[in-house]
Structure 1
């Protein structure tokens, strides 16, 4: 049965409209996995010697055990943001004689192939080998290593549950930050009792059975959780909600694009996924606090230019990158109407520049760090409006992954609608403003860099009609491919 599932998914991949793009994406993902896996291997080999040099009076095994909890907490957060949970189109399987248990076991088994499960292997296997070479007891090292793997795999299945809710993320994030803060300021050394537990596990190999039992428990919990909702009635049923009407007549002043703008505002207001993205975009306003107060970055102002793009471009970068995927659920209907593609794109553009303008107003407190910083933010806002908005719309023409508007997962980790092609489109969004600022800054001075960055946005506004016309042509050419891709069930 597992062989049949693999065959079906392989055929779905080969026959999908995004097949060629998927091949390129997978090559990039494999190269990325090799790169980070190589880093983990080198770090694992040197971990013993790093620990010995940092605390020479302490056994490296004890040092690692004392701080390994931070690795596991970091891994939970990393998985929450980065790990894409496997999906499978199970509706067709529900009406044929296929055992539900087999489908669920296959789905859970796919999670074990995640790169994050191998990351701990790459890190702690070389460390364990170095321990054995240095004469540490074989049984203790082997069972300690197995315990670490069991905990890693347990985190994998824990993430499967946590990914359904924001509560687990907030608890983990607060716990990690609290432990680091308490340790850093010497209030409470959380590493001591936790380190004692891991050292006890190392000294008593039979205790490796505890994380093994935890792994079995979490697997069973996930299995029962999925099986509970694995019914055709639960899949096809729709939740009926009362919709509140909102007066949006103010937007009528935008003329023929007003209906599209009002439709997008209602979409954001009434649906879970875009509402989450809107909330997340607000966090970008605080991005400058990471860079602007630090004296380190004053010697590398190109990084400050990079930060200024994020301060005012939160909504543009998060909501804008999923145009037209936001409309995927009714895109076919829209395209069958007498609707101007130009007006459709203009409405998205107006919405993004409106959000940039609001973000710029809200960024006014950054004047505290000096007028030069605030001028840099203003130049970044100009770039976002005049150039970044068009780059984002262009990237949307290459994005044919549908979005589930009421997906319950978080905006941070919800990869529904995510296309790795967006990562390639993100490069000019990030690198171009840094170059526009850095080159004149290096050749002339800081003020000239700000001026060039700001004028680039004004130039983009002057060429607005030209950019929109070219982007419209690209959307028109890919119209039917986009409709077909949105109709696919991924």
Structure 2
């Protein structure tokens, strides 16, 4: 216990002493505000379900319990943007006479006790208070909420296992897909759902304080704990010993870029950055999977045929590539920024190379949306307008972060590195470049018709593309004025 307390204190001190601590405060305040909003939303839904599900055939808690599997699936998906794999830096402790299992146990304990696992109680507590006391008293409310909390802890460790495996090999995404696909088939194909009955009985066992139900849930948590510990131990050992660094499958020189001079050389560097480093490759694969998935849903499903959701998916498909890699622009280069700064105006050529390469990357979602265009789900003008607007205005906004990003992101470390959320400015710019275009589009639609609104977007995007040389040079000069401050930040945040 003394060791765990020491590690917890070290974690707090490391966070406070990190050079990005002050810059992350705005992002933390924003997350708190969003958490309060969604907590209120869940309380409202909990009270609404308590009255809306009160039917003659079944009790409200039976109906809600039959859908617990859907709550767990939603919780699993919600954790991707908000929860990272354990972030305690393990390298210094592995050099000390401390068992590796104890370090990993601390990481897993901290993850299990994370307040995120309590978030769904904002839905279940008001629901339980309204529906359970008349039959089971407040003891039933307490045991039911305790059971839901244990389920969320189990889901937390299940998510950690999937996220850790997917960080190493993207093909592990098949594991949750097959599991949830099998659950969906078991629910919707047979006339009587055994999965629904299982969760009804599980929820009722929690309400009644059934010891076997709690023991089974705890056993599942322990089993998932042991699996996570074994996987994390193996991956930490592999990463610290750089097992994969010596394996090069093939070498690509991209010689077709030679004719573009220094800009072509930096385009080659950017391609190698994206395709050869573990962190970048993982992000690139996730982006491609999301774009392909959204494009297929948009093309062959009626789920998102509304005007808002259609535009949301289209702009998301175009913007996600830039949001992932350009919101952290220069952060990967922070690993070797000293070499880049040793050549006159090399940063300007690097910025141009990034802009040209990521602009060409827009062709991927544009091509993937051709089936949606053929199926009549979206118009050609909509796809082209949003693509041009993204390359023009959205990329212009994201490139402003070149001046202010000062945190180095490791290129290959995934397990033995402290992970941090983006700075407040990164979060604000990312939100603005994604949310404001949709708001602006619907504002235009209230004034003009859809065709005129799309042409306005096309015109704005074309204007920013035509003037890209001017605003990129402006970004470069502003960056050079702050270069010593930025370089200090890049050096301080290197692992």
Quick check: TM above 0.5?
Answer: yes
Task: Write the deviation string for residues 182-233 of structure 1: whole angstroms up to 9, x where unpaired.
Answer: 64566562444423541562456122222123223333444455556777x9
Q: Is the CA contact 1:100–1:230 (under 8 Å) kept in the aligned structure 2?
A: no
Q: Is the CA contact 2:144–2:203 (under 8 Å) kept in the aligned structure 1?
A: no
2:88 aligned with 1:88: yes
Query: Within 2, Cα distance between the matches of 1:460 and 1:67?
Result: 48
Compare 107-116 and 280-289 and name the one that shifted more.
280-289
Cα separation, partners in 2 of 1:99 and 1:14, compared to 1, 3 Å:
same
Q: Is the CA contact 1:401–1:419 (under 8 Å) kept in the aligned structure 2?
A: no
2:339 aligned with 1:333: yes
Q: Partner of 2:27 in structure 1?
A: 25
Query: Within 1, Cα distance between the matches of 2:236 and 2:324?
Result: 32
Compare 12-21 and 280-289 and name the one that shifted more.
280-289
Cα separation, partners in 2 of 1:186 and 1:485, compared to 1, 3 Å:
farther
Q: Partner of 1:467 in structure 2?
A: 471
Cα separation, partners in 2 of 1:223 and 1:168, compared to 1, 3 Å:
same
Task: Write the deviation string for residues 229-262 of structure 1: whole angstroms up to 9, x where unpaired.
Answer: 777x962545311252224121123222011101
In the TM superposition, residue 392 of structure 1 has moved relative to its aligned partner by: 1.9
Query: Within 1, Cα distance between the matches of 2:106 and 2:273?
Result: 35
Q: Partner of 2:487 in structure 1?
A: 483
Unpaired runs of 5+ in structure 1? none
Please list, as runs of the form range in 1=range in 2, the aligned pairs for 1:12-411 lying within 5 A after superposition. Answer: 12-52=14-54, 55-97=55-97, 100=100, 103-136=103-136, 140-166=140-166, 169-180=173-184, 183-184=187-188, 189-195=193-199, 197-198=201-202, 201-202=205-206, 203=208, 205-207=210-212, 208-226=214-232, 235-239=240-244, 240-282=246-288, 283-284=290-291, 287=294, 300=307, 304-338=310-344, 340-370=346-376, 373-406=379-412
Q: Which has the higher contact order (CA 8 A, sep 6+)?
A: 2
Of the three residues 434, 439, 442, the one matched with 2:438 is 434
- Count of aligned pairs between the two proteins: 482
Query: Within 2, Cα distance between the matches of 1:439 and 1:217?
Result: 52
Determine helix, strand or coil for the equivalent of 1:321: coil
Unpaired runs of 5+ in structure 2? none
Cα separation, partners in 2 of 1:393 and 1:290, compared to 1, 3 Å:
same
Q: Is the CA contact 1:382–1:457 (under 8 Å) kept in the aligned structure 2?
A: yes
Compare 1-10 and 64-73 and name the one that shifted more.
1-10
In the TM superposition, residue 395 of structure 1 has moved relative to its aligned partner by: 2.8
Compare 398-407 and 246-255 and name the one that shifted more.
398-407
Compare 446-455 and 155-164 and name the one that shifted more.
155-164
Compare 84-93 and 452-461 and name the one that shifted more.
84-93
Task: Write the deviation string for residues 246-280 of structure 1: whole angstroms up to 9, x where unpaired.
Answer: 24121123222011101111222223332333333
In the TM superposition, residue 117 of structure 1 has moved relative to its aligned partner by: 0.7
Q: Is the CA contact 2:335–2:409 (under 8 Å) kept in the aligned structure 1?
A: yes
